Structure 1
Amino acid sequence: MTNASLPTVLLADPDSAELHVLIRQAHAQLPLRTRDEVDAQGDCDVWLGAPEHVIELLDRGLRPRWVQLTWAGVTPMLDPRVPRGYQLTRASGVFGAAMLEYVLHHMLAHAWKAADYPFAQSRFSWQPASSPRLAGKRVLIAGLGSIGAHIAAGLSALGMQVSGIQRSPRAVVGVERVGSLEALLPMAAQADYVVNVLPDTPQTRDLFDSAFFSALPGNALFINIGRGNAVVDRDLVHALEQGQLAGAVLDVFRKEPLPPSHQFWVTPNLMLTPHVAGPTDAAAMIDFFLCNLRKYQSGQPLDGQVGFERGY
């Protein structure tokens, strides 16, 4: 393809210097524009950026043919007030490795009772604790998209028994059993670990409620790296206070930053992290974008395609 036929790419985020450098290194001839140049150069068919910055440009009346988000989540773009009429793709396959590491870290910390040792050390106390292996443990992954599938493959390779929940159940590598949302409670009742990676849809909001937490075994650990509004906050607090599950790890919340007055801060056996499970790997993001760009240029279906009506 000649340089003349290359699409002009708009880097939608104000702080896009790293992405600019990485694209230039990989594709020196690709025409690039920053948002500071967009008023004078309004002919950008392809946009790359985070939803909030893309929406700002859409609100200014600019219209792309294709928007590649740097997020895995797409919720802000689904607001009916946000203009449509373009292809929208999310960052697919970019965050799986980091989120697998996050999940594995917290599983190991739970299994090895890692929080007990600093306390014992501060009191000069030699207190060995039993540390069961993860191999053979049962994990339920709610959401088997690109991130959930990556986590499933990694945990299965460690010898864990992996099952999963999916809107339209299908075979997934490393997953022994796949059920629909309606199968969540009976499948959760058999799990040592439940990991939520589901997208934000009307069907997934308030999904993890009192009925779900009551169904869990008392030794279970619940990890939410999907969406904050999937969890009914008061129900999780009550379940932990009543010992219905061993613990929970939350990286996402209904309101972020989490307000200081929220009960989560003082709930027993609850680990909070400030939305850090899926840090952006700029190099991986650009590799994905340029791969999709080649497909865009040749008229092939794009990876990470978002269905506005479907909600993800």
Structure 2
Amino acid sequence: MQITILSADAQQYYQLLQPQFPQCQWFWAEQAEQLSPAALQSQVLLAAPADAAVILKDMPQLAWLHSTFAGVDALLDSSLPRHYQLTNSRGVFGPLMSEYVFSHLLALTQQHQAYRAQQAKALWQALPHQSLQGKTFCCIGSGNISQHLATTAAHFSMKPIALSHSGQGKPAFNQVYAFQQGLPACRQADVVVAVLPNTPASYKMLNQQFFDHLADEVIFFNVGRGATVDHQALLAFLQQKPKAWTILDVCQPEPLPEDHPLWQQSNCIITPHIAAPSRVSDISRLFAEKLQAYLEGQELQDKVDFTKGY
């Protein structure tokens, strides 16, 4: 079995994986042009989607590609070959995403900025108390990451609900609604977290109609993909609802242009797509589990449906 690793962290992946599977022939490179002709004959590829897309047409023997990311939109273009099974990295980003979302959520709820400003003035003054307890936490999307976020929300005695394409119930949520039918439920949500993949169906899915259904003081996160949000509609919402907050870890395009008005919007916090990085240790462990099963002839888990994009 030949396995190729294409990643800026390729050497680290190789050092972690090769000793576990010495029976395999390994190739690795940090850039596509460094791959040998033999490496392009591999049956298995471990790579980020954008890196893999560059070499797919040159890998006729490829049977399985594992994405180091959860999102695989770079591989969904209809011009790219689909002669292989595609799996993505699920189950490793939920804890990281929870840390990101709840660090911001707690800082806003506990009024860290206000108390910091008071400290600068040597001002000892208690502000009205706020809490997450009893508030409604709504995920847009009900996949693995959303389910982990919902579980974390429940630990803070919040009420987790979700909107999804199917509306199929899942144990982590008190209620799951189909997207269009569930929009009215968003009015009751104190926190809304978008965790949508970038697919043709989700493009600018979170538009003016969506923001019209959000509460005036909602805290809205986008930690999925930037293309799922209509940024003009979001900007208008933030300008009209000064008590609302938005935390954006993803934008369209990335990076967000320096002259984009969202940078200057006082109730918008922007971070550079850092909420849940693909850590080599996490992805190596996940890939090793899948590779062991694959070598034993078992069915691959977490396969991506090219028609759905997830």
Q: State the TM-score bracket (shorter-chain normalisation).
A: over 0.9
Q: Give the equivalent residue in structure 2 for 1:192.
A: 190
Letter of the 2:79 counterpart: R
Q: Give the equivalent residue in structure 2 for 1:100.
A: 98
The Cα of 1:229 is off from its aligned counterpart by 1.3
Is structure 2 residue 172 aligned with structure 1 residue 174? yes
Q: Secondary structure at the match of 1:189?
A: helix
Contact 1:295/1:302 (8 A) holds in 2:
yes
| Residue deviations 1:214-273 (CA, integer Å, cap 9, x gap) | 221222100000111111111111111111651110000010111101111011210000
Query: What is the correspondence of 1:158-169 to structure 2 with a 5 Å cutoff?
Result: 158-169=156-167
The Cα of 1:11 is off from its aligned counterpart by 0.3
Is structure 2 residue 271 aligned with structure 1 residue 284? no
**Following TM superposition, where does structure 1 have runs of at least 4 consecutive aligned residues deviating by more than 6 angstroms?**
none
Q: Secondary structure at the match of 2:112?
A: coil
Contact 2:93/2:145 (8 A) holds in 1:
yes
Instruction: Name structure 1 gaps, 5 residues minimum.
Output: 1-6
Query: What is the correspondence of 1:198-237 to structure 2 with a 5 Å cutoff?
Result: 198-237=196-235
The Cα of 1:210 is off from its aligned counterpart by 2.1
CA distance in 2, matches of 1:174, 1:41: 42
CA distance in 2, matches of 1:14, 1:210: 39
The Cα of 1:61 is off from its aligned counterpart by 4.9
Deviates more, 1:139-148 or 1:294-303: 294-303
Match of 1:23 among 9, 17, 26: 17
Match of 1:8 among 2, 5, 9: 2
Q: Give the equivalent residue in structure 2 for 1:112.
A: 110
* Number of aligned residues: 306
Contact 1:224/1:250 (8 A) holds in 2:
yes
Contact 1:252/1:275 (8 A) holds in 2:
yes
Letter of the 1:17 counterpart: Q
CA distance in 2, matches of 1:186, 1:238: 20
CA distance in 1, matches of 2:77, 2:177: 29
The Cα of 1:159 is off from its aligned counterpart by 1.4
CA distance in 1, matches of 2:61, 2:150: 38
CA distance in 1, matches of 2:218, 2:192: 7
Q: Secondary structure at the match of 2:41?
A: coil
CA distance in 1, matches of 2:297, 2:242: 52
- Taking structure 2 as the reference length, the TM-score comes to 0.93
Deviates more, 1:177-186 or 1:22-31: 22-31
Q: Secondary structure at the match of 1:199?
A: coil
| Residue deviations 1:124-150 (CA, integer Å, cap 9, x gap) | 222322342212110101111111111
Alignment RMSD (CA, Å): 1.8
Q: Secondary structure at the match of 1:115?
A: helix
Distance 1:117 1:26, change over 3 A: farther
Contact 2:206/2:228 (8 A) holds in 1:
yes
CA distance in 2, matches of 1:245, 1:165: 24
CA distance in 2, matches of 1:42, 1:241: 51
CA distance in 1, matches of 2:291, 2:60: 20
| Residue deviations 1:178-230 (CA, integer Å, cap 9, x gap) | 01111342111110000000112233222222222222122210000011111
CA distance in 2, matches of 1:57, 1:78: 14
Letter of the 2:6 counterpart: A
| Residue deviations 1:92-120 (CA, integer Å, cap 9, x gap) | 11211100111111111121112212222
Match of 1:152 among 129, 150, 153: 150
Q: Secondary structure at the match of 1:215?
A: coil
CA distance in 1, matches of 2:44, 2:58: 16
Percent of paired sites with the same residue:
32
